[in-house]
A and B are shown apart, each in its own frame.
Chain A
Amino acid sequence: MLLGVLVVLVGVAIFPSRAVAQENPPTDDEVNAIAKGLYCPVCENVPLDVCPTLACKQWRDTIREKLALGWTKAQIEQYFVEQYGDRVLAAPPPHGLNWAVYLIPPAAFLVGVAVLVGAMRAWRRPPIQPRQTEQPTIEDPYLRRVEQELQERA
């Protein structure tokens, strides 16, 4: 089963034009599905599918042509990267320095956890506990809290 899927996948990858070639012209939605993930340098930070400039319209037309030729999404993206650089992709492609944007957040998270755990550990062992008397003693601490606040504010 798995092997079958693999074979089909490989087949699709190797013979894209045959496997995916379309008889009908690609629809706007198919074009936009790809354009949504691309960024044209002319409209910075606005995805290609909604950018109104003429340059972006030409890009969308190019996507349409490539789709009509049976290109896959990955191939089209690769084409744009070759033509216009990595900046056309919605996120930095994972190579070289770009790994930073994928590794720093989890690393920061882990460092943060470590700091947090360290702080919590250090603060758990107070030298003396003079405030132990202040601990809620009433059965329902919530009720006690409400009562206490009401008294404070009355």
Chain B
Amino acid sequence: MLGLLGLVGFGQLRAQQGPVGIGSRAPEFILTTFDGSQVSTADLKGQVVVVNFWASWCKPCEQEARELELAYQTYKDQGVAFLGVDYVDIEREALAYLDRFGISYPNGPDLGTRISQAFRTQGVPETYVIGPDGRIAAVQIGPYPSFEAIAAHIELARGK
């Protein structure tokens, strides 16, 4: 009985924590991109990493798609990496989506929904900005309202 209580307690704890919080260590993961290459967050240590969870069926994701690409173009040469994690999606639809919004940073499927589970996401879109120290610097639940909002998060992460 105590074990069961403990188990429910764990569930409670997890539910309470919500998504991975600001200041906590970001889960490491390897993203297999749509073109077959592998990107590991372990190799991106020391950089600011913007991890965006999205899906082609997700309407709100479309609101921030162009802004994210613009941010990528703006910051890619300044030590900021962008990773798009495609949550519960179909590859063909996802590629069409990337094409439609001209997204050029690495994107790949969330195989086995492992990455989203590690971040404990609750939906799409969600964006996690990881600072150079490997800790979460900023979290955006729902779409970014503007390019400036993305830029502010990146600056925040750099400043740490």
A57 closest partner in B (C-beta): B57
CA distance in complex: A39, B20 (Å): 25
Are B112 and A58 touching (Cβ within 8 A)?
Answer: no
Are A54 and B57 touching (Cβ within 8 A)?
Answer: yes
The main secondary structure of chain A at its interface with chain B is helix
B148 contacts A by Cβ under 8 Å:
no
Are A82 and B113 touching (Cβ within 8 A)?
Answer: no
Are A83 and B55 touching (Cβ within 8 A)?
Answer: no
A40 surroundings in chain B (CB, below 8 A): 88
CB-contact partner of B89 in A58, A81, A82, under 8 A: A58
A99 contacts B by Cβ under 8 Å:
no
Contact string against A for B residues 11-22, beta-carbon threshold 8 Å, 1 for contact and 0 otherwise: 000000000000
A53 contacts B by Cβ under 8 Å:
yes
Residues in B121-136 with C-beta less than 8 Å from chain A: none
Are B112 and A59 touching (Cβ within 8 A)?
Answer: no
Are B88 and A42 touching (Cβ within 8 A)?
Answer: yes
CB-contact partner of A83 in B56, B93, B112, under 8 A: B112
Contact string against A for B residues 143-158, beta-carbon threshold 8 Å, 1 for contact and 0 otherwise: 0000000000000000
B76 contacts A by Cβ under 8 Å:
no
Are A62 and B112 touching (Cβ within 8 A)?
Answer: no
CB-contact partner of B112 in A53, A54, A55, A84, under 8 A: A84
CA distance in complex: A39, B68 (Å): 31
A58 surroundings in chain B (CB, below 8 A): 56-57, 89-90, 93
Residues in A42-76 with C-beta less than 8 Å from chain B: 42, 53-55, 57-59, 61-62
Q: Smallest Cβ distance from A92 to chain B, in angstroms?
A: 14
B84 contacts A by Cβ under 8 Å:
no
Are A84 and B57 touching (Cβ within 8 A)?
Answer: no
Residues in B107-126 with C-beta less than 8 Å from chain A: 109, 111-114, 117
Q: Smallest Cβ distance from A56 to chain B, in angstroms?
A: 9
Q: Which residues of B contact A (CB under 8 A)?
A: 55-58, 88-90, 93, 109, 111-114, 117
**What 9 A-B pairs are tightest by C-beta distance, nearest first?**
A85-B112, A54-B57, A55-B57, A58-B90, A85-B113, A41-B88, A62-B90, A84-B113, A58-B93
Between A and B, 10 residue pairs with Cβ closer than 8 Å are A41-B113, A42-B88, A58-B56, A58-B57, A58-B93, A61-B90, A62-B90, A83-B112, A84-B112, A84-B113
Q: Which residues of A contact B (CB under 8 A)?
A: 40-42, 53-55, 57-59, 61-62, 81-87
